[in-house]
Structure 1
Amino acid sequence: MLKYLLMIIFLVPLCLLNNSWWLVHSFIFLFSFVFMICIYSYCDLNMIGYCFGIDYFSFSLILLSFWICSSMIMGSRSIYLSSYHPEFFFNLILILLIMLYFSIACLSLLSLYIFFEAWMIPIMFLILGLGYQPERLQAGIYLIFYTLIASLPLLLWLFKVYDYVNNLYFPLLFDFGSYYFMFYVLMVLAFLVKLPMFLFHLWLPKAHVEAPISVSMTLAGVLLKLEGCGIFRVMKLISFLGLKFNYFWLSLGLSGGVIISFICFCQVDLKSLIAYFSVAHMSMVIGGLMTMNWCGCMGSLSLKIGHGLCSSGLFCLSNIIYERLGSRSLLMNKGMINFMPSMSLWWFLLSSSNMAAPPSLNLIGELSLLNSIMSWSSFSFLVLMFLSFFSAVYTLYMYSYSQHGSYFSGVYTFTLGYLREYHLLFLHWFPLNILCLKGEYFFV
């Protein structure tokens, strides 16, 4: 583990050099391949691998973190061209990557809590420093208060558990005594607010709308997936109460996903619409994790990887339009197929993957989650039917509304897509559709 961590830390001095953004990006991209080749054979089905806390869940999410962080630098070239403190921006990305690596691969409950909260610091700096509108201050306050208020009671309870058990190491935890019920409630609540679950999701659309493209990519691509990894890690510890009370979280998540699908139809801001996509998709992930069977957990992993790549690519597409028109409103971004027909192909490819069309990884994830939740309760097919149907409806709404129709008459100049943008979109779409060939990895 330390050699990969040191590789990331030694990139920090490179960020201080002029014209070094391409070098940092190339090294992070290279690290993803080195990590993939060197670690894959050491992954174990248990929570402890040969490389600290790297198992199937950890390996996939760390690999996704490397991939998305390298894409963040590629998608944020405007920050470098405008000379708006690019060194500070690259350092924040590397700090964020270190926090992600620690939080995914740790084996202690306290370090899990610390690093799960620590990623908010670079995200706050990125939103407040590089956000688009004055409302970014409100978005930052929403992010801090929603996540901290939900998780601070957990920190106090971890101290109580440590006082009782004298240990917070995952493999050695087995009995919490009288602290068990509150540990279950606070642990699940802390993770579900960050996931986010319906009723606690208001911070996410605000953060996405006010954030620069790099924050939107990492929020949708990686950070929402960490909470699912955290729930999977602690599920063995809370399985007894989970069998009794998980039906509440599962029902709230699925019904909330249907309500969020209706909210998607009211959105006119492109980034806000894609952000609500994430909340609706995460409701199925919550359902799969709360069933506590192997099909549901692995299905949630495959859907998280697929959704991380797909939604990050959709945010890149919305930013490409925003850089040209200066607006994300669907009322102005109409008829884009007239201006950028080649970019409409990428809109179609990523939109079809978002609605779980074959051969995307989302299809494998949704099929296994359908199987898992239906095995828990056959009556849930009604909610799942609505979720799958509305997923296709609001994706088609976004695609048809933005690509077809009469274009805005105020557009007097336009630039076509750059090679960098096509390369960035390809790096999202290609693994999203080629990983379905390795579908057995998620169901070993």
Structure 2
Amino acid sequence: MLYMTSLILNIYMVNCWYLYQLMLSIMFMTLLMKVNLSMSFSYIFYDFGLDFISFGLVILCIIILNLMIISSNLINLGSNSMSFLSVSLFLSLMIIMFFFSLNVFFMYIFFELSLIFMIIMLLGWGYQPERLVSGFYLLFYTIFSSLPFLLLILYLYMFSFSFFFDYLSYFSGSFLMYFIFMFSFLVKAPMFIFHFWLPKAHVQASVAGSMMLAGLMLKLGGYGIIRFMFIFELGFNLNSYITYSFVIWGSVLVSLISLIQGDMKMMVAYSSVSHMGLCLLGLLSMSFFGLVGSYILMIGHGICSSGLFCLANIFYFRLNSRSFFMIKGMILYMPSLTMFWFLLCSFNMSCPPSLNFIGEVLILSSMISYWELSFVYFILVSFLCSCFCMYLYLYSQHGMYIYLFSCSIGEAREYLISFIHVFMLVCFVLLTDLF
């Protein structure tokens, strides 16, 4: 945390864009070497700590932040590049502190502060004027859901006289308490019905904003449910079937909605809602396999969707369009990039041996143990997910290219970003024994 803070303080003194990316890479390697994974907790101090659940998400945060800096090359050429870098580092610091928090009140504070910096990034470096509307969507959805959650935290303090997770306990099956707790995190996850802010924010955000939204902001909801589900255990057992019903139907409907999209970023955004719906189904089943499967799928989806947004931005940078009606025959225009499109679309549809496949198999077993007929909906969601991933790949890469005799070999930076996304997905598959 001191390392990140010192980087932020030095931004306006040392005006070197890629120096900060190098420093973040050093922090990533240091964290991998120093953490003692043989212990259940490490680095516990001043209400903050690192355990198995938060470790992978912090690593994911640093990876996404590195890739954001590499992919935002156009912002680097502008006059306000250091402001963008400071906002990105502040946002990442708030998310890392959220994952580190062992105190409920601190978690709530960093949960809200991350929203402020996300809106600044969306309004400051978005593309179209409609980003103002999407910023208001994001702001009011979060405020409407999080203010009751603050009251719930204060009520838990009166009940347990502590803000620490280890001391909090609540032995009531009250549906109102369960709804207030779930509502705040289901908006961030997001669950179907509460997802309207996500496609709008994705379409209007820059590539870095989309990577941060898909790779990290959606994981705040899943991580919050993991932390609180053990406090409201009785409420989960009595009331989770209601949320389970909404999520399982919503995943099917969102998958159908994504099949009719004409915008590449909109399709990837709706696929994020579908995949996070599967994560929620694993968590709502209240089983060990569901918890581990949701955690693995969150990490896999964070890297995979970030890579797809990067690839969509590479085409948008050259053709000034994200429409499937304009972007056709890209295998003729940028043939070297087609392999990365194929790999990331395959990982997104959970082809083995991807990280998403391992997570979905574990989630499927937990869903069947929760309700036997869940496999019907799971098969339907998986089939529709495969359909829109194939639609994304085939419609963009094949077909008649509109600019007949034009070709682009791409930049080394773009191939580096695509390679790192695929490489990290493969590395996490080889490290699944840690989970």
User: Is the TM value for this pair above 0.5?
Assistant: yes
Q: Is the 8 A contact 1:164 1:176 kept in 2?
A: no
The structure 2 residue matched to 1:33, chosen from 21, 29, 38, is 29
The structure 2 residue matched to 1:112, chosen from 107, 110, 130, is 107
Cα gap change, 1:383/1:348 in structure 2, threshold over 3 Å: closer, same or farther?
same
Q: CA deviation at 1:162?
A: 2.1
Q: Which moved more, 1:192-201 or 1:147-156?
A: 147-156
Q: CA deviation at 1:407?
A: 1.2
* 3-state SS in 2 of match to 1:16: coil
Q: Which moved more, 1:68-77 or 1:161-170?
A: 161-170
Q: CA deviation at 1:414?
A: 5.1
The structure 2 residue matched to 1:54, chosen from 47, 50, 55, is 50
Question: C-alpha distance in 1, partners of 2:297/2:178?
Answer: 25
Q: CA deviation at 1:42?
A: 5.4
Question: C-alpha distance in 2, partners of 1:135/1:239?
Answer: 42
The structure 2 residue matched to 1:432, chosen from 422, 425, 433, is 425
Question: C-alpha distance in 2, partners of 1:41/1:322?
Answer: 42
User: Residue 101 of structure 1 corresponds to which residue in structure 2?
Assistant: 96
Structure 1 position 361 matched with structure 2 position 355? yes
Scaled by the length of structure 1, what TM-score is found? 0.94
* 3-state SS in 2 of match to 1:119: helix
Cα gap change, 1:414/1:138 in structure 2, threshold over 3 Å: closer, same or farther?
farther
RMSD: 1.6
Structure 1 position 323 matched with structure 2 position 309? no
Question: Percent same amino acid among aligned pairs?
Answer: 41
Q: CA deviation at 1:174?
A: 1.8
Question: C-alpha distance in 1, partners of 2:359/2:412?
Answer: 31
Deviations 1:26-51 (A, max 9, x none): 1112211111111142541xxx5443
The structure 2 residue matched to 1:85, chosen from 69, 80, 89, is 80
Amino acid at match of 2:107: L
Amino acid at match of 2:51: D
Amino acid at match of 1:248: I
Amino acid at match of 1:170: F
User: Residue 226 of structure 2 corresponds to which residue in structure 1?
Assistant: 232
* 3-state SS in 2 of match to 1:53: strand
Question: C-alpha distance in 2, partners of 1:283/1:43?
Answer: 31
Q: How does 1:125-274 map to 2 (within 5 A)?
A: 125-175=120-170, 181-274=175-268
Cα gap change, 1:110/1:173 in structure 2, threshold over 3 Å: closer, same or farther?
same
Amino acid at match of 1:65: C
Structure 1 position 314 matched with structure 2 position 304? no
Question: C-alpha distance in 1, partners of 2:34/2:220?
Answer: 22
Question: C-alpha distance in 2, partners of 1:33/1:254?
Answer: 39
Q: Is the 8 A contact 2:58 2:99 kept in 1?
A: yes
Structure 1 position 378 matched with structure 2 position 361? no
Question: C-alpha distance in 1, partners of 2:39/2:424?
Answer: 20
Question: C-alpha distance in 1, partners of 2:155/2:430?
Answer: 47
Q: Is the 8 A contact 1:43 1:59 kept in 2?
A: no
Q: CA deviation at 1:140?
A: 0.1
Q: CA deviation at 1:100?
A: 0.8
Q: Which moved more, 1:136-145 or 1:148-157?
A: 148-157
Cα gap change, 1:256/1:422 in structure 2, threshold over 3 Å: closer, same or farther?
same
The answer for unaligned runs of 5 or more in structure 1 is none
Q: Is the 8 A contact 1:324 1:414 kept in 2?
A: no
Q: CA deviation at 1:67?
A: 0.6
Question: C-alpha distance in 1, partners of 2:79/2:402?
Answer: 30
Q: CA deviation at 1:19?
A: 4.6
The answer for unaligned runs of 5 or more in structure 2 is none
Amino acid at match of 1:63: I
Question: C-alpha distance in 2, partners of 1:121/1:32?
Answer: 25
Q: CA deviation at 1:167?
A: 1.6
* 3-state SS in 2 of match to 1:172: coil
Q: CA deviation at 1:169?
A: 1.2
Q: Is the 8 A contact 2:169 2:232 kept in 1?
A: no
Deviations 1:361-394 (A, max 9, x none): 1111011111111111111111001011111100
Amino acid at match of 2:19: L
Q: CA deviation at 1:136?
A: 0.3
- The total of aligned residue pairs comes to 432
Question: C-alpha distance in 1, partners of 2:427/2:37?
Answer: 20
Q: CA deviation at 1:147?
A: 1.2
* 3-state SS in 1 of match to 2:194: coil
Amino acid at match of 1:244: L
Q: CA deviation at 1:219?
A: 0.8
Q: CA deviation at 1:200?
A: 0.5
Deviations 1:208-260 (A, max 9, x none): 00000001001111111121111001111011111111111112111100000
Question: C-alpha distance in 2, partners of 1:114/1:412?
Answer: 54
Deviations 1:390-409 (A, max 9, x none): 11100000000000001124
Q: Which moved more, 1:369-378 or 1:180-189?
A: 180-189
Cα gap change, 1:132/1:340 in structure 2, threshold over 3 Å: closer, same or farther?
same
The structure 1 residue matched to 2:345, chosen from 341, 348, 351, is 351
Cα gap change, 1:240/1:130 in structure 2, threshold over 3 Å: closer, same or farther?
same
User: Residue 70 of structure 1 corresponds to which residue in structure 2?
Assistant: 66
Q: Is the 8 A contact 1:217 1:312 kept in 2?
A: yes
Q: Is the 8 A contact 1:43 1:50 kept in 2?
A: no
Amino acid at match of 1:108: N
Deviations 1:415-434 (A, max 9, x none): 32111111111111111123
Cα gap change, 1:43/1:63 in structure 2, threshold over 3 Å: closer, same or farther?
farther
Question: C-alpha distance in 2, partners of 1:437/1:42?
Answer: 18
